[in-house]
Amino acid sequence: MDDAMLDLFGEDAVGDGLGALQPHEPESRSVIRRLDQLHRCGCCQRLTWSKNATLAYLSADGRKIHFRLVVRDPESRKWVLSNESPTPVLAAEDISFVHIQWSSVGLDLVALDQTGRPHLYQLAYALDRVQAYSFNPPSPPDDLNTVVGLHWLPVHPNQFRPPHISVGIREGNEWTNKMGVSSVDWPHHQTDGKSAFLLVTESHIVKLYFQQEFGPWSEVTASLWESSGSEEILTHAAFAEANKHMYLTVYSSHGSLRLYKLHIDWAVTQSKDPSRPFQIASAQLRIEYLQIIQTVLPHPSPDVGMDVQQSLYRSRLSSLSILQPSPLAPAEPSVYQVQAVFTCAGDMYSLQGPSASCSAIVRWEIVQEEPELLDVWKTFKQGNAKLAPEAITVMKRLPELSMPKIILGVTSILYEPLLALTFSDGSIQFHNRHDLQLITADNDDTRAGSYPQSGFAFLPSERCSDVALAPDACMAASQTVDGSIVLNIMEYLPGWNDSQIDNHRTQAALNTIARQISITTGLQIAADEPFALIPISLPISHRRYLMKQVYRMLQRPFDFTIEESRKMSSRIMRDSLLAKVLSTQLFTSYTTHPTTLDLPGKIVWVTLNLRMIDNSIASTVTPKEPSRADAVIALAGSVKWCVDLSILILDDLAEAMKHLPSPITTPSLLSFLAPSASPSVLILLSSAPRSLLRVTLELLKIYFTKLTQCNPTTVTQRVQVQELVQYYKTLPFKLPHLESVLQEVDNSVRTAYTNAKISSAGRVECETKMLVDGEVPQCLEKVVEYIFSPKIAGKVVDSVDQGAVWGWDTSWLGLRDGKGKGMDRRRYDVIRKTVFKEGTKLRVCKRCGSVMEDLYGGVEGQRQGLPPWLVHAQRNCVCLGYWMVEG
C-alpha cells in the first residue's frame, strides 16, 4: 500500500483486509484449462515420470503419447531432455487419450481413452519405446464409465523388501548411515512378477485388471453401493496399500467423502495342458464401507487474508490422495492420511469484484476408535469382555494449509517424509508430510537427509500448467503456458565453486546425494538423475568423496581374495549390487575429454565388461554339453575383447621390464604408465576385476575347446568357425601364462594383508582406494614390485611372442590415452564387440552413451534364433544402463 493510501485509511486498514485488495496477475488460459480438467475428474494426468525416469506426455489433441528422457549430453556433459522418441504411441481413429499412468515399477503404462477404456503398453527393450499388450476390453455399456481413480498394485517380490538407508549422521569427521530392509504385506498379484491395477468409475464401479501368466489380462468388478437410479456420481478416487488390504476414498459431485476398506481374494488353478503347465489366476473383490463425511470444504484461517478466504469458499476439489506411512522410516508417525486439494483461479474481471487465486490442502488421518457407549453399556462391558465393541475406522480432520496461489500437484517423495508442491507460477516447495511445515535448508552440518534440508532447491522458473517430478524429485519437467516441455534441475544454493571437501557443509550435501543414489540403486530403478545435481566443474576430490560414500552406504566393495576360488567366482558373478554401484561410478569418472574415462573409470569399465562377457560365455558353453555353432560364433567379438585385454596387460608387463631399471619400484612403474593412464596394474591388484579375469580365462579355455567340437550347419558357419580356430592358434600367448600371473597376485595380496594385519574393514578401504582413487595402497606396493620382477613378469614375458604382443592393436578397447585412434563408441556394438555395418539401426545407452544394434526395432525375423545371452543383453547395456531409441 502506497503512502497516499496510508494517509487516507491509516495503517490499521492493512490488518482489516484492505491491504490484500491488490491486483493479481491473471492465470493463463492453459492453467484455467488444466484446472478445469482437474476439477472435473481425478484421472486426467497428461505428464508423468516413471520410476525408470521415462517422461511420457500426451499431445495437445490426446492422439499421441510422446516419450523423452533426461540424458547427459556427451559433448557438453550437461543434463538435458532428449528429443521426442521416434516411436510415439498413436491412438486409433476414434480414440483420444485423457490419462496416462506408469506402473509402480515403471515397466508398464496404462492409457485411458475418452470412454474410460484402458489401453495397456509395456517397455519394448528401450525406455522410450513401448509395445501394446494383447488386451481388448469391451466397450463401456453406458456414458458413466469415466475413470476417476486408478492405482497400480506393487509387484511381488520386487517391491516388498525395499532397502532402507537412514539419514546420515556426522560424529567428528566420520559419517554413518544405517542400512536395513523392511518387510511389508501389501495386496499384490498372486503370481510373482505380474502386474495388476485397480480403477474406479464415476458410476461407483471398482474394477481390477490383472495379468495372466500366459494369454490376455483378466477383469473383475464390484460396486461401492447399490444404485437407486438418481445417485450422485463420483469425480475423484484414491487408493493406498495397507496390511493385507487397501484403503479407498471417493469424492462425489455432491461434495461428500467416503472411506472404504478393500480386500482382494486370489485363487490359482493349474492349466489342464500337460505339455505347457502354467497357473491361471482368478480374483474377487470385497469392499467394506467405513465412513462418510457429507460435506467437505476448506476452513481457511483469518490470517490468509480476506480475498483468499472468499476465493476458497468457491474453490473445488482438484486432487485426492491417501498418504501411506513410509515402511522405511520407522521413526515417523505410522498413520494414513487422506489429502484433498481445493483450488480456485482468480478472476480480475468478476462482476462480484476481483478474486485471488488460491489453494487449500485439507487433511484427515485414518484412525481406529472405540465407539462411544452409554453408561449402562459401560457397566456391562466391565463385567463381560465379549460385549466389548469392536474398534471402528474413522477419519479425523487435521489442520489444513492455505496459500494464495494455485497448486497443480502434490507428490509424495520416494521413501522420504516429504511432499512436493508444484505451483502454476513455476515454483516448487517441499513440506513435511505429517504437519505440512515448509522444509528449507537448516544449516545443520551434522545431518545429511533430504535435498531441501541440505541446501538444494528449485530456482524460480516460468509459469506452467503441468509439472511432473523425477522419482527422487531432484528435477522437474514442466509444461509451460505455450505447451513446450522444459527441464528444471535443483541447484545447491550455497554453491560449489568455493567449497572445500573438508568443509562439513559440503560433506553433508555430497552425502545427501550419495544417500539418494544408494536408495535408488538398491530399489532397482533409475539412479542417474541425482548426478545431475553436481556440476561438470566439480573437483575430482568431491566426485571421489561422493562415490566413496555410496560404496560405504551400500557396504561395497568386498575383498574376494579371502574366499576360495570357486566361491569367489560364484559370489562376484551374482553380486548385482556391486555391479550397479560400479556402474554409477561412470558418472564421476569423466575427464576433460567428454568420451574419455579417468583411470578409476577404466577399471570400472573393464570390470563391468568382464562380468557381462563371463555370464554370456557361461550360459553358452559348458564342459559336458555340446554348443550350437551360431551361439559360439556370436561370442567371437566378446572373446576377442578379452584376448585383447589380456594382451594389453602382457604388453604393459613387457614394456615395463624393457624400459625400467631393475628392481622396478611402484612409484617408477606408476610414473611410467601415467601418460597412457593404463589400468593394467590396478586390474591385477583390485579384487573384483582380477577375480573376474581369472573366471574369464577359465571360460576361454572351455570356449576354444567347444569351438572345435561344434557342428556348423551352413557353409558360412563352417568358414566362421575355421577363422576362429585359426585366430586361436595364432595368439601370441598361452592362456595359462596369464593365469599364473593372476595366481601369484592372489597369493601375494593375501600374504601382504596378513603380514600387515589388515582387518576386513581395512581390506575394503584398500579396495575402495584402488577403485575410486586409482591408487595403489601402501600395503600392496611390495606386491607390485614382486609381480614386476624377473621371477614373475620376466618369466611370463619370455614365454610370449613379444614382437606380436607389441604390434597387437588394442586401441579399440579405449583403455590407453593418446595411443592409436582410441575407442569410437559409435563404431562398435558394445554388447557383441563387433563393427557396425552401414545403415544399422542403433540403440543408445542412456548412462554411458555406448550403442548396440537395435534388434527389437527392426522386423520380427531379425529376432528369431538369437542366442539366449544376446536376448538377455537386450535389456541393459554393459554398464547396466537402460537403452533409448536413437532418433
Is beta strand 336-344 parallel, antiparallel or unpaired with respect to 358-369? antiparallel
More confident residue, 361 or 305: 361
What's the pLDDT band for 8 if we cut at 50, 70, 90? very low
Span 855-884, mean pLDDT? 77
Tell me the C-alpha distance between 449 and 456, whole Å. Answer: 11
Ordered strands of the 418-423 beta sheet = 407-412, 418-423, 428-432
Average pLDDT over residues 698-709: 92
DSSP state of 493: T
Question: Among 30-34, 183-187, 319-323, 784-788, which is the least confidently predicted range?
Answer: 183-187
Name the 3-class secondary structure at 544.
helix
Pick from 328, 304, 253: nearest CA to 40: 253
Indicate whether 339 pLDDT > 90: yes
Strands 47-49 and 54-58: antiparallel
Set of cell numbers at residue 121: 503398453
Smallest CA-to-CA distance from 751 within 718, 727, 786 is with 786
Give the confidence band of 239 by pLDDT, cuts at 50, 70, 90. very high
Integer Cα distance of 822 and 808 in angstroms:
14
Q: Is 106 helix (H, G, I), strand (E, B) or coil?
A: coil
With a cut of 80, say whether residue 123 has pLDDT above it. yes
Burial of 719 (0-12, 13-18, 19+ CB in 10 A): exposed
Is the torsion defined by CA of 378, 383, 387, 389 positive or negative? positive
Residue 230 confidence (pLDDT) above 50: yes
Q: Judge whether residue 1 has pLDDT over 50.
A: no
Task: Give the 3-state DSSP-derived string for 372-384, with helices as H, strands as E and coil as C.
Answer: CCCHHHHHHHHHC
Residue 393 has pLDDT above 80, yes or no: yes
The set of residues, in sequence order, having a beta carbon less than 8 Å from that of 472 and lying 6+ positions away, is: 413, 414, 451, 516, 519, 520, 529, 530
Confidence grade of residue 54 (pLDDT, cut at 50, 70, 90) = very high
Q: List CB contacts of 330: < 8 A, sequence separation 6 or more.
A: none
Q: Residue 467: which pLDDT band, with cuts at 50, 70 and 90?
A: very high
Q: How far is CA 703 from the centre of its chain?
A: 36
pLDDT of 497 higher than 90:
no
185-189, 376-380, 635-639, 739-743: least confident range: 376-380
- Cα-based torsion angle of the residue sequence 669, 672, 678, 680 in order, rounded to the nearest 10 degrees: -20
**Which of 6-15, 44-53, 302-311 is predicted most confidently?**
44-53
Q: Which region among 72-86, 93-107, 351-365, 862-876 has the lowest average model confidence (pLDDT)?
A: 862-876
3-state secondary structure 127-154: CCCEEECCCCCCCCCCCCCCEEEEEECC
Higher pLDDT among residues 561 and 633, named by residue: 633
| Average confidence (pLDDT) over 272-276 | 74
Residue 661: Cβ within 10 Å count? 7
- Predicted pLDDT at 715: 94
- 202 by Cβ neighbours in 10 Å (0-12 / 13-18 / 19+) ranks as buried
What average pLDDT score do residues 781-800 get? 93
Residue 447: left if φ>0, alpha if ψ -120 to 50, beta else—which one?
A: beta
Give strand pairing partners of 265: 284
How would residue 521 be classed by pLDDT, with cut points 50, 70 and 90?
confident
Mean pLDDT of 475-483: 95
The pLDDT value given to residue 388: 58
Task: Please give the average per-residue pLDDT across 488-510, as a whole number.
Answer: 93
pLDDT at residue 422 is higher than 90: yes
Cα gap 866→881, rounded to integer Å = 21
Q: What is the pLDDT of residue 146?
A: 94
The pLDDT value given to residue 331: 56
What is the mean predicted confidence (pLDDT) over 877-882?
91
Residue 602 CA to residue 73 CA, distance in Å, equals: 20
Picking from 154, 341, 177, 149, the residue whose alpha carbon sits closest to that of residue 250 is: 149
Q: Is the pLDDT of residue 642 over 60?
A: yes
Q: What is the per-residue pLDDT across 739-750, written as a single tens digit (0 to 9) for each?
A: 999 999 999 999
522-573 pLDDT, tens digit per residue, is 776 667 899 999 998 899 999 999 999 999 998 887 777 665 555 666 778 8
The DSSP code for 154 is: P
Give the model's pLDDT for residue 350: 59
3-state class percentages of the chain: helix first, strand second, coil last, to nearest 5: 35, 25, 40
What integer pLDDT is reported at residue 143 of this predicted model? 77
pLDDT, mean of residues 709-737: 92
Residue range 625-652: mean pLDDT, rounded: 93
Q: How confident is the model at residue 138 (pLDDT cuts 50, 70, 90)?
A: confident
Phi, psi of 4 (to 5 degrees): -65, -40
**Average predicted confidence (pLDDT) for the chain:** 88
pLDDT digits (tens, 9 = 90+) for 166-201: 999 999 999 999 987 777 889 999 999 999 999 999
DSSP state of 863: G
Q: What is the pLDDT of residues 81-103, one digit of tens each?
A: 999 999 999 999 989 999 999 99
- Locate the domains of the chain by residue range: 822-887
Radius of gyration (C-alpha) of the chain in whole angstroms? 31
Q: Given this model, what pLDDT does residue 614 score?
A: 94
Cβ burial 736-760 (10 Å sphere, 16+ → b, else e): ebbbebbebbbebbeebbeebebee
Q: Under a CB-based contact definition with an 8 Å cutoff, are residues 572 and 557 in contact?
A: no
User: Which three-class secondary structure state does DSSP give residue 240?
Assistant: strand
Note the pLDDT of residue 307: 79
Q: What is the pLDDT of residue 329?
A: 59
pLDDT tens-digit series, residues 754-770: 999 999 889 999 999 99
The single-letter DSSP state of residue 828 is B
Given pLDDT bands bounded at 50, 70 and 90, which one contains residue 330? low
Average pLDDT over residues 237-245: 95
CA distance 464 to 700: 58
What DSSP line would sit under 622-643, residue for residue? BTTB---HHHHHHTHHHHHHHH
- Across 27-36, 114-123, 226-235, least confident range: 226-235
Cβ atoms of 460 and 444 within 8 Å: the answer is: no
Nearest to 773 by CA among 548, 550, 515: 548
Q: Span 308-329, mean pLDDT? A: 86
For the chain, give the percent of residues with pLDDT over 90.
Answer: 64
Torsion angle defined by CA atoms of residues 662, 668, 674 and 679, in that order, rounded to the nearest 10 degrees? 70
Asked whether the predicted pLDDT for residue 353 surpasses 60, the reply is: no
pLDDT at 505: 95
pLDDT band of 161, cuts 50, 70, 90: confident
Q: Decide if pLDDT at 809 tops 80.
A: yes
Largest CA distance in the chain: 104
Q: Distance (Å, rounded) from C-alpha 221 to C-alpha 137? A: 13
Contact indicator for 68, 485 with CB cutoff of 8 Å: yes
Helices (H), 1-118: 3-9, 12-15, 29-40
pLDDT value for 21: 43
List the grid coordinates of 92. Answer: 486409433
Alpha-carbon gap, residue 611 to 875, rounded angstroms? 15
Structural element, H or E, at residue 805: helix 802-807
Omega into 675 within 30° of 0, i.e. cis? no
pLDDT of residue 546: 96
Confidence of residue 354 (pLDDT cuts 50, 70, 90): low
Residue 333: its pLDDT value, please? 65
User: Sorting pLDDT into bands at 50, 70 and 90, what band is 20?
Assistant: very low
User: Would you say 117 and 140 are in contact if contact means Cβ atoms under 8 Å apart?
Assistant: yes
pLDDT band at 6 (very low <50, low <70, confident <90, very high): very low
Average pLDDT score over residue span 156-167? 82
Q: Are 267 and 235 in contact (CB under 8 A)?
A: no
